[in-house]
Structure 1
Amino acid sequence: MSERTIKLTINGKLASINVEEDKTLLYLLREVMGLTGTKEGCGEGDCGACSVLLDGELVNSCLVLAIQADGKDVITIEGVGTEEHLHPIQQAFINVGAVQCGYCTPGMVLATKALLDRIPQPTEEEIRRGLSGNLCRCTGYQKIVDAVRKAADS
């Protein structure tokens, strides 16, 4: 497969990267850029562990070719808050106990960010719809819904 140079912004930083045309955005982020907060779960777009924001829209990075991100803005979990200053969404997840194993958490946080950017005060139905592409096997969804509500109120 041939390589192509793409230019994109990842977490606010401009990058110019050579990537094989058949590689996914997930591969680029994890293997090339070392941004391992984005997880590979199912590899089929069903679980949401690989969720990122692409030009503000929530996408499954396992289904997007890296070359499709050329000229676009990508936000991963590493671009949401810092260790010293958590984003209010991240803090809400901690405060209500919506985190257990943490595998789904990056995707859930990004799904929440995408939702609250669109609908700052969502109803419970809108929250559940906004999180519907992200699976959690540990915490249970009520605490996650509560975290989204708390983040919306902050």
Structure 2
Amino acid sequence: MHRRRTRAARRLAARHRRGQVRRDRAARTRRGRAADGAKACTSHLNGKAVNPCAVPVGDLRPTDEVTTIEGLADTVDEDLHPMQQAWLDHDVVQCGYCQPGQIMAAVALVRRVAAEGREITDDDLDGLRNICRCGTYVRIREAIRAGAEQM
């Protein structure tokens, strides 16, 4: 007997099939259109969020530590960093263009707030200036809070 899948079951199966695509979208550095514009290229320089397109190479020292989205999981010795996993769990990714920069900015924010000995606030989240063309800001905020709990 042939059963028809419900719409929800078809969507769930499609999400699983797209899982690797979603993971890939959340794991590559993006190059923005203008220096320091969308912040899609956000990376970490000595643990702080920076936009590499706005940092002159001559300003870097041999002792500086640069982490891009590609190396973020290595900082926790896992396949995915907890923030990357939160992005997948909260289905944040749509087009995926801004996600690496969003994740890197979120990780830097969570680390800074934790170092200050406090929890993430709405004011902290409002301070993130990364642009999402798809407007997934509600899910981004949810993912940041969830990722922070796992970091």
Whether these two folds match at TM > 0.5 is: yes
Q: Under a length normalisation based on structure 1, what TM-score does the superposition of the two structures give?
A: 0.70
2:102 is the alignment partner of 1:81: no
Amino acid paired to 1:144: I
Post-superposition Cα deviations, 1:19-55, rounded to whole Å, max 9, x if no partner, equal xxxxxxxxxxxxxxxxx92211122212101111111
- Secondary structure at the counterpart of residue 31 of structure 2: coil
Identity %: 39
Greater relative contact order: 1 or 2 (C-alpha under 8 angstroms, separation 6 or more)? 2
Q: Under a length normalisation based on structure 2, what TM-score does the superposition of the two structures give?
A: 0.71
Partner of 2:134: 138
| 2:123 equivalent among 115, 122, 125 | 125
Structure 2 unaligned runs (5+)?
Answer: 1-26
1:97 deviation in Å? 1.1
Aligned residues, how many? 116
1:109 deviation in Å? 0.7
Partner of 2:92: 98
- Secondary structure at the counterpart of residue 58 of structure 1: strand
Q: Does structure 2 retain, via aligned residues, the 8 Å contact 1:98–1:139? A: no
Report the structure, 1 or 2, having the larger helix content. Answer: 2
Amino acid paired to 1:117: R
Q: Does structure 2 retain, via aligned residues, the 8 Å contact 1:98–1:147? A: yes
Moved more, 36-45 or 91-100: 36-45
Distance in 2 of aligned mates of 1:128 and 1:98: 17
Distance in 2 of aligned mates of 1:47 and 1:114: 17
RMSD: 1.7
Structure 1 unaligned runs (5+)?
Answer: 1-35
Distance in 2 of aligned mates of 1:111 and 1:66: 21
1:124 deviation in Å? 1.7
